Structure 1
Amino acid sequence: MKTFLVTGAANGIGRAVVLALAEQGDLALLNDLGDSPALAALVTHLQAAGVETRVVLGDVSAPETARNAFSGLERLDVLVNNAGILNEAPITEMTFEQWDQMIRVHLYGSFLFAQQAARLMTRQGSGAIVNIASDLGQLGCANLCHYSAAKGGIIAFTKALARELAAHGVRVNAVAPGGTLTPMVERLGPDYIREESARYPLQRLGTAEEIAATVAFLASAQASFTTGQVLGVNGGGVMNG
C-alpha cells in the first residue's frame, strides 16, 4: 500500500496534487483548515476510485495538527507540504500579526509536518517529501515581503533537510510555481490574468495540473536520484544557469 499526505488539499494546487498522486497511491491523508464542500467532494471522488481516504482538519502551524495527522500511521511514502495563505501589505503598514501568520503557516507548517514525516520515513528507510515554494521565494515581490521570505525559507529548508535525510533513503525536493490559474485567480478577472501572463516568457499562467504533474514526478521512482532540488514550474519567469 502506497500512502501519501497532502496539506491544504481541498482546492487549487492541493486538490490537483491529490488527484495526481491518487493514480499511484492506495491511502490518501488529506489536511485542510476546515471542512468544506470542496473537501467533501474530493473525498467522495477518491473513495469512488477505490482510494482509502482519511481527513485531518486543522491549522498546519499548530503542532497538534501534525501529531493528529500521523497518529497511528505505520507508513508514509509521500508528504506534500502545500498549505499556504496569501495577502498583500506594504512593509510600512504590515502588522506583526500578518507577518507572524504568514511565517507560521508556511514555515512552521512545513517544519511540523516534515518533522513527523522524517521520523517515520527514516525508520522505514525510504520516502519523499515535496515542499511547495514559489518563484517569489527566488525573485521577491513588492508588498509581499512576508510571503517572499516564507517561500524563500522553504527553499532553504528543503536543501538543508535533503542533506540531512539523504543517508536514510529519504528524498526532499521543492516545486516553485509561478503564477497559476486557480479558481481564486480566475475570480480576479481577465484584466488581472492578462497582466500577470505578460510577466512570463511563455505569456500565460500555469495550471494546477502542471504543478501537480511535477510534484507527482518528484514523488515517483523516476526521481529516485533527485534530491535537494527546486523545480521551477514558472513559464520561464526564473531561469537558473
Structure 2
Amino acid sequence: MEKYALITGASGGIGRSIAQKLASEGYSLYLHYHTNEKAVTELMAELDSFEIELIPIQADLSSKDGYLHLANNIFSLDAIVLNSGSSVYGLVTEMEEHTVQQMVQLHVTTPFLISKMLLPKLMNKKQAAIVAITSIWGQTGASYEVLYSMVKGAQNAYVKALSKELAPTGIRVNAIAPGAISTPMMEDFSPEDLLNLQAEIPMGRMGTPGEIAETAAFLLSDKASYMTGQILGVNGGWYT
C-alpha cells in the first residue's frame, strides 16, 4: 500500500536528507518549501528514479494563515515530519516584537494547527506517526539564543503532551533534538568558531543531515512501534 509523508522545510539540509531517505523506503512525499523553489525542484529531480509521487507545496509557515494553504493541499497521509524552522541570535533585550511573533508562529502555532487539521487523515490509517525536528537548545537552553531555545522547548513539550493524547488512536508522536549539524544554518560560524564548537562535542565532530534522516526514518517505522513521546538527542554526546 502506498504511503504518504509530509515534510515541512523540505528545501533545507535536514529536510532534503529526510526526503531522500523516505523516498528510498517507498514513501510518496509532500515537499513543503517557503522561498527556495530551486532546491525543491532539484530535490524532485534527484528523487525521480523512485516510483513515488512527489507533490511540492509552497507556503509561508511564519505567517498567520500559511498553514491553511499547506494543509488544504494534503490528501492521503501516513506521516508528518515537522521540520520547518529558523534560528535567531541576539540578547533578549535586542529582540523585536515582530521577530518574536514570527518565531512563535513558525515553531509553535503553525505546527500545532497543521497537526490539528491533518489528524483526521492520520486517524484513517491503522498506523501513523509524527516526528518533530526540535533542537538540543530546546532541552538545555542557550544564552544569546533564548528565543530559539524557548520555541524549541515548546515543541518538545508539545510532542510529549500530544503523544499521550493520541496514543489510544495508534498515532505515535516523537521528536529528534539535533545538536550541531552540518547544514547551511552553520554558515554564520567562522572556521575558528566551528573548530571550537567541535572541540566541545565528545565525539569531536558535527553531525550530518543523513544521521538525522536515519533517525527520523526509524521513528516513522514499525521498528519504533512502542515508542511515543520521546525526545531523541542526536548530538554526539554534547550536553547530555
Normalization by structure 2: what TM-score?
0.93
What's the counterpart of residue 7 of structure 2? Answer: 6
What's the counterpart of residue 194 of structure 2? Answer: 193
Aligned equivalents of 2:74, 2:141: Cα separation in 1: 38
Determine what percentage of the aligned residue pairs are the same residue. Answer: 37
Where do 5+ consecutive residues of structure 2 fail to align? Answer: none
2:78 aligned with 1:110: no
CA contact (8 A) 2:175 2:231 kept: yes
Aligned equivalents of 2:66, 2:26: Cα separation in 1: 22
Alpha carbons of 1:237 and 1:22: their partners in 2 closer, same or farther (altered >3 Å)? Answer: same
CA contact (8 A) 2:64 2:105 kept: no
The superposition leaves residues 156-213 of structure 1 with CA deviations (integer Å, 9 ceiling, x where unpaired) of 0000000011100100000000010113425634212111112211121111111111
Aligned equivalents of 2:25, 2:114: Cα separation in 1: 21
2:78 aligned with 1:68: no
After alignment, is 128-137 or 50-59 more displaced? 50-59
Aligned length: 239
What's the counterpart of residue 24 of structure 1? Answer: 25
Task: Please tell me the residue identity of whatever aligns with 2:19.
Answer: V
Where do 5+ consecutive residues of structure 1 fail to align? Answer: none
Aligned equivalents of 1:44, 1:215: Cα separation in 2: 22
CA contact (8 A) 1:135 1:177 kept: yes
What's the counterpart of residue 215 of structure 1? Answer: 216
CA contact (8 A) 1:61 1:112 kept: no
5 Å-filtered alignment, 1:1-241, equals: 1-62=2-63, 64-71=65-72, 73-186=74-187, 188-239=189-240
CA drift of 1:64 comes to 4.4
CA drift of 1:71 comes to 3.1
Normalization by structure 1: what TM-score?
0.93
The superposition leaves residues 131-163 of structure 1 with CA deviations (integer Å, 9 ceiling, x where unpaired) of 011000111111111100000000000000000
